Structure 1
């Protein structure tokens, strides 16, 4: 009997507790469920590929944001929101200078939106078009040199198509950029006339017109590294750690110790080698010590800033009278991450090698001198591999 009474009392307590508990609902302090008033006093400032719309908000504490809805191309819709703390929003993504209708809504905390207010914008020339119009293309050794302007620093991709052996146009290169201007090369073509096409695409999927023309890349060949020789002039830096200069042309760069390593001394330091033939250079490629890449790429003794000099008759005293500066170069980490941190793009770029273009105006040379101005952290220099191209 006592057991039954205890069970009954326990059940009664739970029922009373349940009766005293109610679901707690949260709602906005100002939300009355009404439809908000629309914005007023709209003004438009047209921008390259975009427009800024300024407006006045209704006096309503329940407003959460203003929303713009529009199409940048038929069937391609965009939506932009701006907090109630602001009195303007930016509509972007336009690929031409046509007029576009923008519908603007005031939206409450309950996601109730006002009647739309429609404004018309007419963007200025968008970056995808401006950059396309700026493209200049010139024939270069083994390929082409492309120059461009991107004043808006927009996120763009410059695509290059090239005719294959059947005449079909196939993707040959894509250069991604957010820089205000740039110059880059595409390589790997023989010295025959070939049709190339170029167009620009932005992050919104807008595509420019296409530039198509026929170009004939200049002849170049990869120089025979078996002809390369170490030259040690009186002022040159010597090797160290038993890692001689000839390691730079043994066609290896992935082994941890397969490299040329100089002695430690103050900058600038320089070293010299003989190509074995007199040649008009077109470009070089340099591979940094990078194994494992996460530890060594864009770090330590790898060259960061340097000059490349050429000569046909080096000064026997190690001086500079008979040398001509071929180019200046700086190694830039693609990701821009701090020293000691690398991305997948950084590792891929290090494995590909650092291309060093040589201007067409430079004379023929036989001897090469690297003048190292700065490495990434230390006061010695190491280089894993070097390749050289030119017209013998």
Structure 2
């Protein structure tokens, strides 16, 4: 009986405590519940930008002010609001895709979330980034696909959406070909397409849902195939650099499919020499060269293989010739097919490669040649600067692509 009585008392006390807590929670009120309306901002000025406007103002000397809020409607018809604390005197309204006049309402908001009457201003944005990108975008046929280029001067976050017809002949987005970026100079290379005609649509979109018109292009990729390496042969000319250690390495090793030492071309740098190092070889086919794939030689170390190191080419040129001068001179028998620069993805200091750097180098660099260049049979690679600051060069493996028909 005593046990039952004790349990009953405990139950009653618990109920009272829980009930009391519930009442306390219900009675909580904002710390600051002042209904006073804050003072408005004054001295408003506007600087219109591309798809946006920067609004400056004088913050009122009002102790209850918490922040300033701008409310506006963008081109899509959607309403947005941005805020700035009372420590700031500027805010940016953005997301406009036209150059029309728009109304923005500025509210002062107190610590109790009481808003002032609005200060209404007018803005007139400049040309939106999506239209700037759209108007200078170019799409041209390339070997095995197409090249898309555009300038994004404001470095805005934009998407270039590529569309293609589906089985119902309705255009839908192709995310694999679409571009999502904020770089100033846009370059998208699409490869792996057959040499038939394709019809694609292209439009530019921003993160607010604004989008441009769609431009439609018929793309006809240029034929490309890998030139058979079984036909390659060395073709050493006067002026070509000697190989390491009296021929321990060799030019012919760059197409033998083997990696590592000594299966590489590795030129020897005489002390004090600053002349560019060249190697020359015969592809065995007169072809219009589309690209040359190069895998750099890895220098082994306690830190792991280093690809952006010593004789790895940093700046170099590739020349082609159908019937080269046997003097070894880079005369008019040679055509410059392209000038190239290797950039380490991570940007880490010399001698330090991260996992992404190594993965990029292992995958190899694909260097595109001038599509207007004539057909050639012989290739010459000229190193202007390696990663150590010299001109010696090393190449572990190489492939050549083009149209030999």
Contact 1:238–1:263 (Cα < 8 Å) also in 2: yes
Which residue number in structure 2 is paired with residue 29 of structure 1? Answer: none
- Structural mapping, 1:96-135, within 5 Å: 96-97=98-99, 99-107=101-109, 110=111, 112=113, 114-115=115-116, 116-135=118-137
1:279 correspondence with 2:279: no
Secondary structure of the equivalent of 2:134?
Answer: helix
In 2: Cα distance, 1:341 partner to 1:224 partner: 35
CA-CA distance at 1:211 after TM superposition: 2.0
Query: 1:338 and 1:249 mapped to 2: Cα distance?
Result: 31
CA contact 2:76–2:210 (8 Å) conserved in 1: no
* Distance of aligned partners of 1:201 and 1:39 in 2 relative to their CA distance in 1, 3 Å threshold: same
Which residue number corresponds to residue 238 of structure 1? 242
Check conservation: 2:231, 2:284, Cα contact below 8 A.
yes
2:201 pairs with one of 176, 197, 201: 197
* Alpha-carbon distance between aligned partners in 2 of 1:164 and 1:190, rounded to the nearest angstrom: 18
Q: 2:325 aligns with which of 293, 315, 318?
A: 315
Aligned partner of 1:261 among 263, 266, 270: 266
> Match for residue 221 of structure 1?
225
1: CA distance between counterparts of 2:287 and 2:384?
26
Does the aligned pair in 2 maintain the 1:247–1:258 contact within 8 Å?
Answer: yes
Q: Does 1:288 align with 2:296?
A: yes
Give the direction of change, closer, same or farther, for the CA distance of 1:267–1:94 in structure 2 (3 Å limit). farther
Can you list the C-alpha shifts for 1:163-184, whole angstroms capped at 9, x where unaligned?
6899775344244544444444
With 343-352 and 136-145 compared, the bigger mean Cα shift is at 343-352
**1:162 touches 1:171 (CA, 8 Å); kept in 2?**
no
User: Deviation digits for residues 15-52 of structure 1, max 9, x if unmatched?
Assistant: xxxxxxxxxxxxxxxxx996531212323232111111
Q: What is the Cα deviation at residue 376 of structure 1?
A: 1.9
The 2-side partners of 1:41 and 1:338 are apart by 49
RMSD over equivalenced CA pairs, Å: 3.5
Aligned to 2:278: 270
Q: Find the aligned partners of 1:57 and 1:346 in 2 and give their Cα distance.
A: 49
Q: 1:157 to 1:264 in 2, by over 3 A?
A: farther
Question: Is there any run of 5+ residues in structure 1 with no aligned partner, and where?
Answer: 1-31
Structure-1 separation of matches of 2:352 and 2:73: 41
Indicate how the Cα distance of structure 1 residues 59 and 162 shifts in structure 2: closer, same or farther if over 3 A, else same: same
Normalising by structure 2, report the TM-score: 0.75
2:401 is matched with which residue? 389
- What's the counterpart of residue 383 of structure 2? 372
Paired with 2:309 and 2:71, the residues of 1 have a C-alpha distance of 48
Aligned residues: 360
CA distance in 1, matches of 2:250, 2:209: 51
1:294, 1:68 → 2: CA distance?
54
Structure 2 contact 307–361 (Cα < 8 Å) conserved: yes
Cα distance in 1 for partners of 2:205, 2:148 equals: 16
Change (3 A) 1:287 1:95: farther
Q: 1:336 to 1:105 in 2, by over 3 A?
A: farther
Between 138-147 and 167-176, report the one with greater CA deviation: 167-176
- Deviating more after overlay: 278-287 vs 296-305: 296-305
* Aligned partners of 2:267 and 2:277 also within 8 Å: no
Superimposed CA distance per residue, residues 279-335 of structure 1 (whole angstroms, 9 cap, x where no aligned partner): 111222222345889752444432111111111233333222232212211123345
- Aligned mates of 2:112, 2:262 — CA distance in 1: 63
Report the CA distance shift for 1:100/1:190 in structure 2 as closer, same or farther (over 3 A).
same
Shift of 1:104: 2.9
- Indicate the SS of the match to 2:253: helix
Residues 312 and 68 of structure 1: CA distance in aligned 2, closer, same or farther (over 3 Å): same
Alpha-carbon distance change, 286 to 34 in structure 1, aligned in 2, over 3 angstroms: farther
